[in-house]
Amino acid sequence: MNQYPKVKCLNCRKEIGECNFKTFTVNLKGYDKNGKRKLFCSQECYDQYKKQFEVEVYNGCSIYAVEHLGEIRYMPWWFSSYYFTNIGDCRKRIDRKEVGIYPSYLFGSLVR
């Protein structure tokens, strides 16, 4: 009996094993292009995968862009809990990390 779906690394497709709560807690996490949470088998795979979504390095911070439902969403860091719909706002956020600019939208609402 196999209660849990087998999970594969999003980058190299190697099987990570059965997916359960512990897997999700300890493994490296990221989004696929549909905004779904996915897992990676190693730091190398994680870094390689992230690189595809890096659109620019601004002030030493990588900006990542993920397309969802035809809309490009810019994140000031990978696996950010929120995103911006234009890269200018994303840069502003990086410029003023400590000021606390409210994000346009919560990214979490689409990965539920």
Stretch that binds Zn ion, among 10-18, 29-37, 69-77, 86-94 (CB under 5 A): 10-18
Nearest approach, Cβ of 24 to Zn ion (angstroms)? 16
Say which amino acid occupies 87.
I
* Cβ atoms of residues 29 and 42 within 8 Å: no
Nearest residue (CB) to Zn ion, 7 versus 90:
7
Query: Residue 59 — φ and ψ, nearest 5°?
Result: 50, 35
Nearest residue (CB) to Zn ion, 30 versus 76:
30
Query: According to the binding rule CB under 5 A, does residue 28 interact with Zn ion?
Result: no
Binding mask 43-82 toward Zn ion (x if CB under 5 A, else -) reads --x-------------------------------------
Instruction: Supply 81's token pair.
Output: 């809990």
Nearest residue (CB) to Zn ion, 53 versus 83:
53
Distance CA 16, CA 23 (A): 9
Q: Which residues of 44-81 are buried (b: 16+ CB within 10 A; e: fewer)?
A: ebbeebbeebeeeeeeebbbbbbebeeeebbbbebebe
Interface residues with Zn ion (CB under 5 A)? 9, 11-12, 14, 41, 45
